[in-house]
Amino acid sequence: MIVSLGYRPFPAAPMEKTAAVPMRRPPASAKSEQRIRDILRVARQVFSEAGFQAATTTEIAQRLGVSEATVFTYFGGKRELCVRVISDWYDEIIAKVEDYLPHVQGARAQLHYLVHAHLRHLLAEGTGLCAFILSEGRARNDDFGEIYAGLQRRYTAPLMRILAQGQADGHVRRDMPLRLLRSAIYGPMEHVLWDAILRGTRVDVAATADLLVDFLWQALQPPRRDALALAQFRGEVQDALHRLQSAENKDGGAY
């Protein structure tokens, strides 16, 4: 899983003991589909600005110029709407990545694309949506935890494939499990995102992606055999010197 720093600019929603309300199945008319898109578009704006707790379906309805009952016609409540907003965001990004990534050749170039895309997609929508996704996605709510875990698996699957292929080709170190390598990549990116949110600063996505990939790619490289041999030789020399000094001290103490 992606490492969480624990910062939450928006209070997480309270734990709900009841089971999640199944998503409503709206009429499949063109008008209904457009209404759903409009509700989701405005809901994304409201959640981004206010966070989950402060956002209301009343505000969403008012911005759309419809009654709150219209929102409830298509969604069972605010929590269901929140789940749909986050799920749709993930679906959009995953679709773009899966469509473009096959055209990128080489493990390092693919890693660079994923890092750049992750920063760009989260920050391009503004830090409000970024904070909302990061904080609400980590709220330990029974009705969202399983859904979020599935989204995370899908979202990180391209990186896991790149790392696995890199290990098979000898471009990525094999002495660490893939899950730790994944965390080592997404962890620094999340630090960058939270720093941008908390400081209210703009991030040069391209430059930041370049720096991160330079650092991460070096860390992902397999240990060089000659470097390992040299390190082993140095260790053996140090051990020999230590034994020699110990013997000299022992001999010197005997007189």
Mean pLDDT of 136-156: 75
CATH no., domain 30-226 = 1.10.357.10
Domain ranges across the chain: 30-226
Two tokens, residue 232: 């082993």
Res 159 pLDDT > 90 = yes
**DSSP character string of 92-115:** HHHHHHHHHGGG--SHHHHHHHHH
Total Cβ atoms within 10 A of residue 224: 10
171 alpha-carbon distance from chain centroid: 23
What is residue 4's predicted lDDT score, i.e. its pLDDT? 37
d(CA 176, CA 162): 15
pTM: 0.73
What does DSSP assign to residue 55? -
Question: 47 and 56 in contact (C-beta within 8 Å)?
Answer: no
What is residue 125's predicted lDDT score, i.e. its pLDDT? 67
What is residue 13's predicted lDDT score, i.e. its pLDDT? 42
What is residue 146's predicted lDDT score, i.e. its pLDDT? 76
What is residue 246's predicted lDDT score, i.e. its pLDDT? 73
- The pLDDT tens digits of the residues spanning 59-101 come to 999 999 999 999 999 999 998 998 899 899 999 999 999 999 9
What is residue 7's predicted lDDT score, i.e. its pLDDT? 34
What is residue 94's predicted lDDT score, i.e. its pLDDT? 94
Mean pLDDT of 217-236: 77
What is residue 234's predicted lDDT score, i.e. its pLDDT? 81
What integer best gives the mean pLDDT of the chain?
82
- The pLDDT tens digits of the residues spanning 36-56 come to 999 999 999 999 899 888 999
Mean pLDDT of 200-222: 93
Query: Which of 8-12, 133-137, 154-158 shows the lowest per-residue confidence on average (mean pLDDT)?
Result: 8-12
pLDDT confidence of 17, banded at 50, 70, 90?
Answer: very low
**Residue 200: Cβ-neighbour burial (10 angstroms; 0-12, 13-18, 19+):** exposed
Query: Which of 142-146, 212-216, 217-221, 238-242 shows the lowest per-residue confidence on average (mean pLDDT)?
Result: 142-146
Helix runs in 67-224, H state only: 68-74, 78-100, 107-124, 127-137, 142-169, 178-199, 205-220
- The pLDDT tens digits of the residues spanning 167-191 come to 999 899 999 999 999 999 999 999 9
